[in-house]
Structure 1
Amino acid sequence: MNELDPQVERALDAANANDTDAFLAAFTDDGVVDDWGREFRGAEAIRGWSDNEFIGKQVVLRVSDVSKKGDDTTVTAEVGGNGFNGPSHFTFRVSGDRVSRMTIRA
């Protein structure tokens, strides 16, 4: 398993701590969450999505694998909490010291 970039680790740690402010701070100002094709750009949109579907559902991410391809880091995780439960892939793109994009797929 590859090492996590600190930027990605910061976002995952914030999600697992159910810390919305820290999760948002892990993203660039124009950061995007792509949740199965639905895109949420910027802190306000990401907060709305997270409150309803991610941290607001007390998400727990148990990472089982990390792979890198070019600029992308894909994290395979078992998702738990009070929302979606099951395996997912989270692909992160990093820009500088923060995440610019997180794409969620099965």
Structure 2
Amino acid sequence: MPELDPTVQQFVDAVNTGDRTTFYQLLTDDATMSDDGNDRDLQEWVQSEIFGSNGRMRVESVSGPTALVADYANDRWGSMRTAWRFTVGDGRISRFETGQA
């Protein structure tokens, strides 16, 4: 299995430990995201889907340094198989896209 980009691995770790500070430090100031192909307000989505609902990622497979499939679970939706893609530059994430896999 390919290895994740270190920044993406830190993103996964920050989600799993509930570490908001590290999570936001990994993002560029103008970072964007989409969920199931729809652009979302990053701050609102992260609060709702990750930190406000105990979000956790269990990586199932890695298809490249910035792409993975994970079993994602939170208190709002339960568990679902999701695909994640990240745009990384200079050790920070400028965009991430997620959706059901």
**Shorter-chain TM-score range:** 0.7 to 0.9
Unaligned runs of 5+ in 1: none
Per the alignment, residue 9 of structure 1 pairs with 9
Aligned-partner Cα distance in 2 for 1:57–1:77? 17
Q: How many residues align?
A: 99
Q: Does 1:63 align with 2:59?
A: yes
Q: Distance in 1 between matches of 2:66 and 2:99?
A: 13
Aligned residue type for 2:71:
E
Q: For residues 90 and 60 of structure 1, what CA distance do their matches in structure 2 show?
A: 13
Give 5+ residue unaligned stretches, structure 2. none
Confirm whether residue 75 of structure 1 aligns to residue 71 of structure 2: no
Deviations 1:63-87 (A, max 9, x none): 011112xxx7211000122023210
Per mean C-alpha deviation after superposition, the further-off stretch among 31-40 and 79-88 is: 31-40
Paired residues of 1:30 and 1:100 also in contact (CA < 8 A): yes
Equivalent residue number for residue 22 of structure 1: 22
Q: How high is the TM-score relative to the length of structure 1?
A: 0.83
